[in-house]
Structure 1
Amino acid sequence: MTKGFGMSAFPGIPALLSRAGTASVLTAATVTASMLIPTLATDAQAATPGTKALQIAASKKGSPYQYGATGPNRFDCSGLTLYAFKKAGKALPRTAASQYNKTRHLSAGSRQPGDLVFFHSGSNVYHVGIYAGKNQIWHSPKPGKSVRLEKIWTNSVWYGRVK
C-alpha cells in the first residue's frame, strides 16, 4: 500500500485554505497544486507572445505570397511576422531588417519556438520567418508560393526574440 501526502507534508496549506473561505477553496487548491507541480500550469499561462505568434502563423498555412502584404489573407515574409505578433499582442516594424533591429539577439543554441529567424547575406537581412522547432520555420517564401513550414536551408541566419 502506498502512503499519500498528509497536510503535514505541506506546512502552510491548512492555513491558506482556512483563510480562503468556502467560495475560494477550489481556487486555492488549484493555485497550491500549480505551486507544487509547476507543469500543471495551463497552456494560457505557459504561452508566450512568440508561441502565440507561431500558432497564428501556422494557421495561415496556404495563404499566398504577395509583396508588401500584411494579411489577413496574403503576406510577404515580414508581413506574416508583423501580423502574427500583432495578433499575439506585440508590435513589430514593417521590414525584416527593422524587425531584426527590434529583437533581442540570440545564439542558435538559445533559440526557442516562436523566435524570429533572420536570413542574411553579409550584414543585409533579406528574409524572416518564425522558428517552429526542429530546424524549421513558418514563413511566406516568395511570389508563386504560399505560407508554409519549411526546413532552414542555410547557416546564414540570425535569431531574435521579440521583446
Structure 2
Amino acid sequence: MRMTVRMHTPNLLARAGTVTALTLVTLGGTTIAPGAAGDAEGASVSAYALRIAASKRGAPYQYGAQGPHAFDCSGLTLYSFRRAGRALPRTAAAQYGRTLHIPASLRKRGDLVFFRSAGGIYHVGIYAGRGRMWHAPKAGSVVRLERIWSRTVSYGRVG
C-alpha cells in the first residue's frame, strides 16, 4: 500500500503536534512511532527483573554469589535480568558501563541504581519506585527492599 501525504502549509506539523503527526504515518495498520516497540519490550523486561529480585527477599548476602539462593549486589541484578532474558556483566561497575544512563527524573521501576564515590561505582540495586530499591546490601544481611539512602547515585536502563 502506498500512501502520499501532501502538506499545504510548511508549519502543519508544528500546528498539529508531534503525537498527531506520528499518527499520520501508517503502514498496513501499524503506526510508526520511533522506539515504541523497544520501549514497551524493555519495560516488560525490567518489570520482570524487578519481580525476580523481589522474589529473592530474605536470600543471604554472599560475596561473589550469583544466585539462586545467595547473592551479592551485582549478582542479584545479573541473576534477575538474566532470568528476564537480558545479559549483564558481573560487576556493578561493568553493569554501569553497559546501561543507558538516565537522569533521576526519568527513572522507572526496574532501572538499575548505581552508588558511586570518588573511586567509582561500588554498589547496585534495582529501582522499585517511591525512592526504594531491591538489593543485597552487605555481609551478614539479606536481599531486601530499602530506601535509597544517598544522593550520590546514578541510574541506568538495561536495553
TM-score, structure 2 length as denominator? Answer: 0.73
Q: State the alpha-carbon separation in 1 of the partners of residues 59 and 105 from structure 2.
A: 31
The equivalent residue for 1:145 is 141
Q: Does 1:160 align with 2:156?
A: yes
Out of 109, 112, 116, the residue aligned to residue 108 of structure 2 is: 112
SS of the counterpart of 1:66?
A: coil
The equivalent residue for 1:98 is 94
SS of the counterpart of 1:48?
A: helix
Higher-Rg structure is 1
For structure 2, list consecutive stretches of 5 or more residues without a partner in the other structure: 1-40
Q: State the alpha-carbon separation in 2 of the partners of residues 46 and 78 from structure 1.
A: 20
SS of the counterpart of 1:67?
A: coil
Out of 76, 80, 87, the residue aligned to residue 72 of structure 2 is: 76
RMSD: 1.9
Q: Which runs of 4+ in 1 moved over 6 A?
A: none
Question: Identity of aligned pairs, percent?
Answer: 61
2:140 partner letter: G
TM-score, structure 1 length as denominator? Answer: 0.71
Q: State the alpha-carbon separation in 2 of the partners of residues 129 and 51 from structure 1.
A: 14
Q: State the alpha-carbon separation in 1 of the partners of residues 42 and 74 from structure 2.
A: 26
The structure carrying a bigger helix percent of its residues is 1
Number of residue pairs matched? 122
For structure 1, list consecutive stretches of 5 or more residues without a partner in the other structure: 1-44
